Amino acid sequence: MKILVAVKRVVDYNVKVRVKSDNTAVDTANVKMSMNPFDEIAIEEAVRLKEKGVATEIIAVSCGVTQCTETLRTAMAIGADRAILVETSEELQPLAVAKLLKALVDKEQPGLIILGKQAIDDDCNQTGQMLAALADLPQVAFASKVDIADGKATVSREIDGGSETLSVTLPAVVTADLRLNEPRYVTLPNIMKAKKKPMEVLKPEDLGVDVTPRIKTLKVNEPPKRSAGVKVPDVATLVAKLKTEAKVI
């Protein structure tokens, strides 16, 4: 069984993002970029399924600028066998990515498609769901455990107040939540090996997909600065302030 995993290049989660002075977008110039953390979990899960003998090949896909090849090399250092870059300098929104992935699903016919539950730059949480709809495949979002047997995936997902377990027939789309696994560290020998693994580069036109943005960002603002707190001498003063000033009790 082939597994297709979508990996997005995003601003590294340790970076404190800054908004451009004209308030049009987040400033990504000279900012460290990395693989979206949920996509690392997605790749790790695919590699574990291959190690268990469930999967035979893992294909990592990234859509975006040329530098996404770095993200794909990381995916291959974790354990993906080959990579596909859909190269474009156009701003890509979830629907466009879902259409590109759908075209690759048609081409590659994977038994399982794993995405991150959400990209930490746009926080959309849409691509997996849109892909499942476009490809007419069953989906389980926010997976915290995945078992594959007899052409079916049994997937647990965390929900309010507990966990839900669903069974879907393959091929299916699964999106990875934080607790699905803890991704392994990338080792130097594996980074070296990844350099020799195959990487195919396609353009959206090769897949017959129009990626023109449908949504226009009107304005991006920094969150308001937190005002300074005050120290209160005792509980009675705290309760009084909560009643009279904050008016929350």
Torsion sign over Cα 203, 205, 208, 213: positive
Binding mask 47-76 for ligand AMP (x = CB under 6 A): --------------xxxx------------
Q: Which amino acid is at 22?
A: D
Total Cβ atoms within 10 A of residue 91:
13
Closest CB to ligand AMP belongs to which residue?
116
Q: Is 124 in the site for ligand AMP (CB under 6 A)?
A: yes
The answer to whether the CB of 132 falls within 8 A of the CB of 4 is no
Please list, in sequence order, all residues whose beta carbon lies within 8 angstroms of the beta carbon of residue 232, skipping any fewer than 6 positions away.
238, 241
User: 61 with 82: CB under 8 angstroms?
Assistant: no
Q: Is 135 in the site for ligand AMP (CB under 6 A)?
A: no
Subset of 12-51 contacting ligand AMP (CB under 6 A):
36, 38-39, 42
Site string for ligand AMP, 84-103 (x = CB under 6 A): --------x-x--x------
Q: Which is nearer to ligand AMP, 7 or 105 (CB)?
A: 7
- Interaction between residue 83 and ligand AMP (CB under 6 A): no
- Residue pair 97/86 in contact (Cβ under 8 Å)? The answer is no
- Of 75 and 194, the one with the shorter C-beta distance to ligand AMP is 75
* Residue in the block written with tokens 């979206």: 36
- Provide the 3-class DSSP secondary structure of residue 28: coil
Contact residues for 88 (Cβ-Cβ < 8 A; gap 6+): 63, 64, 65, 203, 204, 211
**Residue span binding ligand AMP (CB under 6 A) among the ranges 4-12, 48-56, 143-151, 162-170:** 4-12
* H-assigned helices in the chain: 37-51, 68-78, 94-108, 127-135, 188-195, 235-244
Regarding 122 and contact with ligand AMP (CB under 6 A), the answer is yes
- Smallest distance from ligand AMP to CB 92, Å: 5
Nearer to ligand AMP, 70 or 122 (CB): 122
Site for ligand AMP in 140-169 (CB under 6 A): none
- Report the interface residues with ligand AMP, using CB under 6 A: 6-8, 36, 38-39, 42, 61-64, 92, 94, 97, 115-116, 118-119, 122, 124-128
